[in-house]
Amino acid sequence: MTYHPKTCFGLLRHTVTEWNQSRRIQGQADSPLTLTGETLALRWGRLLAGNFWNRILSSDLGRARRTTELINQELNLPVTLDPRLREKDWGKWTGKTIAQLKMEFTDIWVKQMPSEWDFCPPGGESFQSVWKRGREALAAASDCWPGEKMLVVTHEGMIKSLVYHESTLSDFRKDEQCLMPYHLHCLTFLSGRLEIEHLNFLNLSPAFPSSVQP
C-alpha cells in the first residue's frame, strides 16, 4: 500500500466583487472585482508570502481567477483551475437580492429555511452537491501532490459546505460566525479523510495589521 503524507489546504474566499457590494447572489454567474477588492487581493499576496505554499488551486470562475492572479503576483506559484471548486449554482435565484427572493419566492424561501443543507433552489443545486464536488477536488489534488501545502481560492458556499460537513455544525445561518470573513481556514487530507485543522487561521481583513502572524 502506497503511503501518502498529509496534504494541507488553506481555503480562502475570493475578494470583493461588484455584486457583493450590491448584495446580489452570484452563484456561478460572475461580476468583476471592485477596485477595493483588487487592492485587497494584492495585500493578501504579501500577507500569504509569510507562509510556505507549494501551489494554488482555484475555482475557474472569473472572480476567483482574478483574485488568484493578483495574489500570485507576490507568490509566483503554479496554478491549477478546477471547476469543481465553483460556487453553488443558485439557478433562478442568481442575480437576486435576499429582499427580492423573499418577495418573489416566498413559499420556497420559507420551506428551505429548516433544511438548507439539502435544499435545491429552482434550477440550482444543494449544498450537499457542492460538498461532494469540492471534496472530490481536494481528494484529487491530494493524490496528485501528496504532502504539499496548497492555497485554495474559492467561494463562501464551497468553504461552508466543506467545513460544515466535516464538523458538528449544521445551520448555515446560526453557525456562520464560526467562519469569519477575510480569514484563511486550514483543512487536511490524509488516508482518504478530509479534516478540519484550524478555522480562522489567518486574519486577512482590511483593518488587520500586516505584521500580525497567525
User: DSSP labels for the chain?
Assistant: ----PPEEEEEEE---BHHHHTTB--TTS--PBPHHHHHHHHHHHHHHTTS--SEEEE-SSHHHHHHHHHHHHHH---EEE-GGGPPP--GGGTT-BHHHHHHHSHHHHHHHGGGTTT---TTS--HHHHHHHHHHHHHHHHHHSTT-EEEEEE-HHHHHHHHHHTSS---TTTTGGGS-TTEEEEEEEETTEEEEEEEEEEE--TTS-TT---
The domain locations on the chain are 7-203
pTM to 2 decimal places: 0.90
Whether residue 87 lies in the annotated active site:
yes
| pLDDT, tens digit only, all 214 positions of the chain | 566 799 999 999 999 999 999 999 999 998 999 999 999 999 999 999 988 999 999 999 999 999 999 999 999 999 999 999 999 999 999 999 988 988 888 777 766 654 578 888 889 999 999 999 999 999 999 999 999 999 999 999 999 999 988 775 555 555 556 888 899 999 999 999 999 999 999 999 876 544 332 2
Residue among 4, 18, 69, 87 flagged as catalytic: 87
Residue among 4, 14, 125, 148 flagged as catalytic: 14
Q: Which CATH class is domain 7-203?
A: alpha beta
Whether residue 14 lies in the annotated active site:
yes
